[in-house]
Structure 1
Amino acid sequence: MVGTLARLGLAAVWLASGLLKALDPAQTYVAVKAYDVLPTDGVSIVAGILPWFELALGVLLLLGVGTRAVAVLSAVLLLVFIAGVSQAWARGLNIDCGCFGGGGAVEPGQTQYVQEIVRDTGFLVLAAWLIVRPRTFGALENLIGRAAEPGPRHSKVG
C-alpha cells in the first residue's frame, strides 16, 4: 500500500508540475533562467524539454510502467532540483524555484529555499521507496509481467 501511495503521489507531483510549466512556456523559461547557471541556449533547451519530461514521468508512474526506472530518473531530477535551489541560496539569489509554475526573481526575503529543499527531499524519499520496492498495486507492469510468465501448458492427449 505504501508503494502504491508513493507511486501515485509522485505521479501527481510530476503531472502537476509538468502541466503548469507546459501551460506557460515563457514563464518556465524565466524560471530556468533565474538560476543563472546555463547559457541562453541551455536555458531554452531545459525550459522546452522539462515540462514534457515531467509529464512523461507522471504518466509512466500513474500507469505503473517501468516504475523502478522512472523512480531512478525521478530521483536524479529531484537531486538536480535540490542542487539548483541550494546553489541559488548559497549564491544569494532571490528567486522562486518555479517548481510548480511561476518562478523567477522575487523580492529579498521572499525566498522559500528551506521549504523547497525539504519538499523535494520528501519527493526524493518517495522515489527512493519505489527504487527499492517498485511493485505496487494496480501497476500496468504487473499485468504485463503476468502475461509474459510461462504458465502451465495444457495438451490434449489422445
Structure 2
Amino acid sequence: MKSKLNKTLVLDIISFVARFYMAFVWITAGLHKINAYMDTSQSITAYKIFTPEFSGYLATIIGPLEIAGGVLLLLGIFLKQSSKVATVVLILFIIGMGQAWARGLNIECGCFGVQPSSTPTAAHFATSIARDFIFIFLTVWTIYRPFKKWAIHA
C-alpha cells in the first residue's frame, strides 16, 4: 500500500512539473516575442522557409499564441488538447531548426528572443533541438497523465 502511495506521489510530482514548467516555458517564450516584432520577424525569415511577408505575419501571432498556450496550461484549461497542440508546435520547431542546421545556416533560433551576443553553432542547434525533445517529453506526459489539481477544466 505504501509503495503504491509513493509511486503515485512521484507520478503526481512529475505531472505537476510537466504542466507548470511548460506553462512557464510558453509564457516566457511568448513574452520575449510580444514586443519584439522586428527581431522575431528577422529570426523567422532567417530560416528561409517562409516569404518575408509570411514571416512578418507569423511574428505578429506567435508571441500571443505562445502566451495563450502557457496560460491554458497554467489555468488547467483543456490540458490534454493544449498539450497535443504544443507537441505539434515543438515538432515543427525541431524540423525548422534541423533543416537550418542541415543547410548550414548560421542563425539564432529565436526561441526565447534574439540573443545578440551569441554566435550560433552546430552545438547551439543540437542543444536547442535536445531541449525541445525534453519539452516534447513533458507535453506528452501531460497528455497521458495531466496534473488536474487546480485545473479549471482538464
Q: Give the TM-score, by structure 2 length.
A: 0.85
CA deviation map 1:99-148 (0-9, x unaligned): 000169x7574760010000000000011001111243221225xxxxxx
Percentage identity across paired residues of the two chains: 37
Q: Please tell me the root mean square deviation across aligned C-alpha atoms, in Å.
A: 1.8
Give 1 or 2: higher helix fraction: 2
Matches of 2:25 and 2:32, distance apart in 1: 11
Equivalence map 1:36-55=2 (5 Å): 36-55=48-67
1:35 is the counterpart of 2:47:
yes
Give 5+ residue unaligned stretches, structure 1.
143-158
Gaps of 5+ in 2: 1-11
Contact 1:61 1:70 in 2 (8 A): yes
Instruction: For 1:56, give the aligned amino acid.
Output: A
Task: Give the 3 Å change call, closer, same or farther, for CA 136–96 of structure 1 in structure 2.
Answer: same
Which has the greater radius of gyration?
Answer: 1
- Structure 1 length-normalised TM: 0.83
Q: What is the aligned counterpart of 2:104 among 76, 92, 117?
A: 92
List structure 1 segments (4+ residues) > 3 angstroms apart after TM superposition.
Answer: 106-111
Residues 54/109 of structure 1: CA separation in 2 closer, same or farther (3 Å cut)? closer
Judge conservation of contact 1:60–1:66 (CA < 8 Å) in 2.
yes
Q: Would you say how many aligned residue pairs link Structure 1 and Structure 2?
A: 141
**Superposition deviation, residue 23 in structure 1:** 2.2
1:132 aligned onto 2:144:
yes
